[in-house]
């Protein structure tokens, strides 16, 4: 590849063929659940049990789910690539890590991590969570929540991501509908830095006109083909 500094952004579409639900497709998560109930701080304050149930169920559904050819192709690209590389995922699943990716940030948090609203502690958490879950650090009860970024909250790693976007010469967006900011604005930021911008998705995203190049199709086919 004639590029030196790559930023790759992934969204739910890269995990779809592994069996993980997307959000805004026809049968996606937001067609069944109101995001205001389960993915906002206000929803959690109103009914924490409902929010725990939603994420416990998503944790259960991840059992036995494996990375696919698109995750694996990105994991192979990282050590093969001589310049700087950053994989930014909006996904809360761990399929990139399972495939072997290392230079990876989860900007919307992780399903298998817990956050204490009382003391701010974050720690790995793989089991069920309930309104009785106790913080192992400060011992507060009922303030433990899944460590994901809800609407109205600040995504993680923004400093590192913006630095990489301002310096990149290739930006590749994979399996994201381009509805959710700030991630949806990354392509414009990379473009302003002079990067070549590529969209790999099943269909045109909201921001498709900001991409210099696009390939449409299932991620397991188009991602390995683009990379190799």
Report the interface residues with ligand BJW, using CB under 6 A: 11-13, 16-17, 22-25, 28, 39, 90, 92, 108, 148-155, 158, 175-177, 179-182, 201-203, 205, 218-219
Q: Please give, one letter per residue, the 3-state secondary structure of 141-163.
A: ECCEEEEECCCCCCCCCHHHHHH
Nearer to ligand BJW, 2 or 159 (CB): 159
Cβ atoms within 10 Å of 165's Cβ, excluding its own: 24
Shortest approach of ligand BJW to residue 18 CB, angstroms? 9
Q: Is 33 helix (H, G, I), strand (E, B) or coil?
A: coil
Shortest approach of ligand BJW to residue 177 CB, angstroms? 3
Q: Which residue is nearest to ligand BJW (CB)?
A: 13
Nearer to ligand BJW, 5 or 108 (CB): 108
CA nearest to 159, candidates 75, 79, 86: 86
Nearer to ligand BJW, 100 or 218 (CB): 218
Shortest approach of ligand BJW to residue 20 CB, angstroms? 10
- 168 in a known ligand binding site: no
Residue pair 168/190 in contact by the 8 Å Cβ criterion: yes
Q: Which of 52, 71, 106, 108 does the annotation list as catalytic?
A: 108
CA nearest to 86, candidates 67, 59, 105, 60: 105
Shortest approach of ligand BJW to residue 1 CB, angstroms? 21
- 214 in a known ligand binding site: no
| Residue 86 tokens, joined | 């950053």
Per the annotation, the verdict on 71 as an active-site residue is: no
Residue pair 87/104 in contact by the 8 Å Cβ criterion: yes
- 25 in a known ligand binding site: yes
- 11 in a known ligand binding site: yes
Q: Is 105 helix (H, G, I), strand (E, B) or coil?
A: strand
Nearer to ligand BJW, 78 or 93 (CB): 93
Residue pair 87/99 in contact by the 8 Å Cβ criterion: no
Query: Exposed, middle or buried by CB within 10 Å (0-12, 13-18, 19+), for 113?
Result: middle
**Per the annotation, where are the binding residues for substrate?**
55, 58
What are the catalytic residues?
A: 108
**Per the annotation, where are the binding residues?**
11-30, 55, 58, 90-93, 116, 119, 135, 138, 175-177, 201-203, 219
């Amino acid at each position: 590849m004639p590029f030196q500094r790559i930023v790759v952004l992934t969204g739910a579409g890269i995990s779809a063929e592994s069996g993980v639900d997307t959000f805004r497709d026809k049968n996606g998560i937001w067609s069944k659940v109101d995001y205001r109930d389960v993915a906002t701080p206000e929803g959690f304050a109103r009914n924490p049990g409902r929010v725990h149930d939603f994420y416990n169920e998503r944790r259960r559904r991840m059992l036995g789910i494996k990375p696919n050819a698109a995750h694996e192709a990105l994991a192979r690209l990282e050590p093969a690539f001589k310049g700087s590389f950053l994989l930014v995922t909006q996904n809360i699943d761990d399929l990139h890590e399972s495939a072997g990716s290392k230079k990876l940030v989860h900007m919307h948090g992780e399903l298998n991590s817990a956050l204490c609203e009382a003391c701010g502690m974050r720690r790995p958490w793989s089991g069920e969570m309930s309104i009785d879950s106790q913080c192992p650090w400060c011992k507060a009860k009922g303030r433990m929540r899944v460590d994901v970024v809800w609407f109205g909250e600040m995504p993680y790693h923004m400093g590192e991501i913006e630095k990489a976007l301002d310096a990149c010469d290739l930006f590749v967006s994979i399996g994201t509908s381009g509805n959710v900011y700030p991630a949806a604005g990354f392509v414009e930021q990379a473009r302003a830095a002079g990067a070549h911008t590529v969209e790999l998705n099943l269909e045109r995203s909201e921001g498709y006109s900001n991409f210099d190049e696009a390939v449409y199709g299932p991620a397991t086919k188009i991602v390995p083909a683009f990379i190799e």
